[in-house]
Structure 1
Amino acid sequence: MADLDNAQIFQEARSQLLGLAYRILGSLADAEDAVQDTFLKWHKADRHTIDAPVAWLTTVCTRRCLDLLRSAHKSRVDYVGTWLPEPIHTPIEEGVENASELAGSLTTAFLLTLERLTPKERAAYLLHDIFEVPYPEIAETLELKESACRQLVSRARVNIEQAKVRHATPLERQEQLLAAFEAAVTSGSASAFAALLSDDVQLATDGGGRVPALLEALHGKAAVVEFIVERLGRFWADYRWVALDINGCRGLVLRQEGKVVTVAAVSFAYDDAGRVTNIYIMRNPDKLSRLGETTY
């Protein structure tokens, strides 16, 4: 019975651990590895000495994520082209109370902003502001003084607030953008799409050196619209378009006809006026293989 209870404790905490690990690492595969390593330590631990199981699991998982993040740093520095977080399927229902919070903490723009923080800033901010872990527990997890953890969170907030990535764009606006984007690609009619873009919009693609993709991001409305109409219109005409909620926002995937193969995933970032500031196109097949799975 005790083993069953311990397994149940871990399973109940697993979703939160996976969500924390994914936000720290930006990779679902690495997040699952961190959670699995946490489970192995939990299985071997003397659980009679653990007074707060969820706090213990969160500490172990966070520390493992920080180890993995340090190991991942070199590979991201040497990455071919632009590195983007692994996209995940996150169904959003209009009117759901936590929809805006989910959108704000899982968007690609938010995860890329976290990449600019130090590992401990990232962990401290996520633990406190997203998962509501109190400072004394964060201090124990990061093996720092509580005052140092408060400073980490304060510095992280400044960076994130400057990036303006934690606001929610109305779903109607997102759906309007998707329709205009599809029209621009499939028919070459780009006027409605261009009207929804900010003047300094950026477009980035991640091929991971595995498939053709832009090595550097495009900047500016004219360059982005030309690429979408001329390049994507030529190569994406025969793909099947599937609307999908990606990282807390409306997005889409393109599948190859007759095969269960996702060849691209497209997601967007918006400013507080609802204009598109960033377009993210994932082409790396290693990051597309499990996009149909649901993860929070």
Structure 2
Amino acid sequence: MQGISPTAVFEERRRHLFGLAYRILGSRADAEDAVHDVYIKWLGADHASIATPAAWLTTLCTRHCIDMLRDAQRSRVDYVGTWLPEPIHTRTEETPETHALLASSLSMAFLLLLERLTPRERAAYLLHEIFETPYAEVAGILDMEEAACRKLVSRASVNIAQGRVRHVTPPKVQDELLAAFREAITGGSTESLASLLSDDIAVSADSGGKVPSVEGVFQGKGSVLTLVTTQLARYWAAYEWVPCEINGGRAIQLRANGEIVTAITFAYNDEGQATNIYILRNPDKLDGLAFGPEVLA
């Protein structure tokens, strides 16, 4: 590190650390706090004794996020209504192949599936499968034997594979769904939308109990289409519709007087049909979308 400022070293790794923290925690605000805490500890560290700053920072960030996640999971017991990950406005500056890889690990469906894992399983899976960290390094980060680390990743991989959420639906198909969804809300026509929904389509809404929203989970094509043409159309038709990218996929922001009041994202199956519609209404979670797009590692 001779001749390089500690801040410069950290800034080179900030994007990586934030991407890791966000995937572990499912919250932009918590990820920002985690990265800030790591930065403070980094500034106070004995840099001359740190042979590999990147590994040191990743280790500290991972362990800190695991502790934060345990606390967050305990607090979610008292969360009002359905809990969804905090949405993040994304932008990808990589190749289409890299974009697809990033999108598959940022989607709401993937982040929700990660919630089924223990904090250590979640961290181990992300480090090895998403950030391509060798098992020996992951074991060191988690302070465990490599064989035990392999078992952690293996168990997590089985859970993730069963969820079938690591594929990416082509942007053209996503755009068709967004157009059909808007037409159903503003024009009342559901024919196009119905053809793009899976039979077991589900709608989940997260308001945190702070603003009015649909309650419970609506499942099944008929139930969802009725919800769209009655309750959602009644309140959403007059909003400003802003297409955007959220969590690596095509999404919609609904605005009133320039303020984001709702964000809608989607999940898809292998055939390109929508399997889930996620409605974010909690104003605390929507605040982060106003910061503009993040380029995540």
Alignment partners' CA distance in 2, 1:225 and 1:64? 43
Q: Following TM superposition, by how much is the alpha carbon of 1:198 offset from its aligned partner in structure 2, in angstroms?
A: 0.5
RMSD: 1.5
Q: Following TM superposition, by how much is the alpha carbon of 1:97 offset from its aligned partner in structure 2, in angstroms?
A: 2.9
Change (3 A) 1:3 1:228: farther
Alignment partners' CA distance in 2, 1:211 and 1:45? 44
Unaligned runs of 5+ in 2: none
Aligned counterpart, 1:138: 138
**Per-residue CA shift, 1:231-256, capped at 9, x if unaligned?**
11100122100000110110110000
Aligned counterpart, 2:266: 268
Alignment partners' CA distance in 1, 2:192 and 2:261? 26
Bigger shift: residues 131-140 or 34-43: 131-140
Q: Following TM superposition, by how much is the alpha carbon of 1:191 offset from its aligned partner in structure 2, in angstroms?
A: 1.1
Alignment partners' CA distance in 1, 2:229 and 2:49? 62
1:99 maps to 2:99: yes
Aligned counterpart, 1:7: 7
Contact 2:196 2:274 in 1 (8 A): yes
Alignment partners' CA distance in 2, 1:74 and 1:226? 35
**Per-residue CA shift, 1:169-224, capped at 9, x if unaligned?**
01110000000000000011011101110000100000001011233111111111
1:282 maps to 2:280: yes
Q: Following TM superposition, by how much is the alpha carbon of 1:275 offset from its aligned partner in structure 2, in angstroms?
A: 0.5
Bigger shift: residues 160-169 or 206-215: 206-215
Alignment partners' CA distance in 1, 2:45 and 2:80? 40
Contact 2:106 2:248 in 1 (8 A): yes
Q: Which AA in structure 1 matches 2:216? A: E
Bigger shift: residues 190-199 or 212-221: 212-221
Change (3 A) 1:173 1:253: same
Superposition map of 1:27-66 within 5 A = 27-66=27-66
Contact 1:80 1:215 in 2 (8 A): no
Bigger shift: residues 1-10 or 244-253: 1-10
Change (3 A) 1:26 1:171: same
Q: Following TM superposition, by how much is the alpha carbon of 1:92 offset from its aligned partner in structure 2, in angstroms?
A: 4.7
Change (3 A) 1:95 1:133: closer
Superposition map of 1:157-168 within 5 A = 157-168=157-168
Paired-residue identity, %? 56
Alignment partners' CA distance in 2, 1:239 and 1:23? 31
Alignment partners' CA distance in 2, 1:184 and 1:238? 13
Alignment partners' CA distance in 2, 1:281 and 1:150? 36
Superposition map of 1:171-186 within 5 A = 171-186=171-186
Q: Which AA in structure 1 matches 2:293? A: T
Task: Kindly tell me the number of residue pairs found equivalent between the two proteins.
Answer: 294
Runs of 4+ aligned residues of structure 1 deviating over 6 Å after TM superposition are none
Change (3 A) 1:210 1:3: farther
Q: Following TM superposition, by how much is the alpha carbon of 1:37 offset from its aligned partner in structure 2, in angstroms?
A: 0.6
TM-score by length of structure 2 reads 0.96
Alignment partners' CA distance in 2, 1:140 and 1:213? 45
Helix, strand or coil at the partner of 1:288: helix
Q: Which AA in structure 2 matches 1:285? A: P
Contact 2:29 2:288 in 1 (8 A): no
1:76 maps to 2:91: no
Contact 1:122 1:156 in 2 (8 A): yes
Q: Which AA in structure 2 matches 1:35? A: V
Change (3 A) 1:128 1:81: same
Bigger shift: residues 136-145 or 262-271: 136-145
Alignment partners' CA distance in 2, 1:71 and 1:196? 39
1:240 maps to 2:240: yes
Unaligned runs of 5+ in 1: none
**Per-residue CA shift, 1:108-157, capped at 9, x if unaligned?**
00000000011000000000111111112211211111111100101111
Change (3 A) 1:55 1:84: same
Aligned counterpart, 1:202: 202
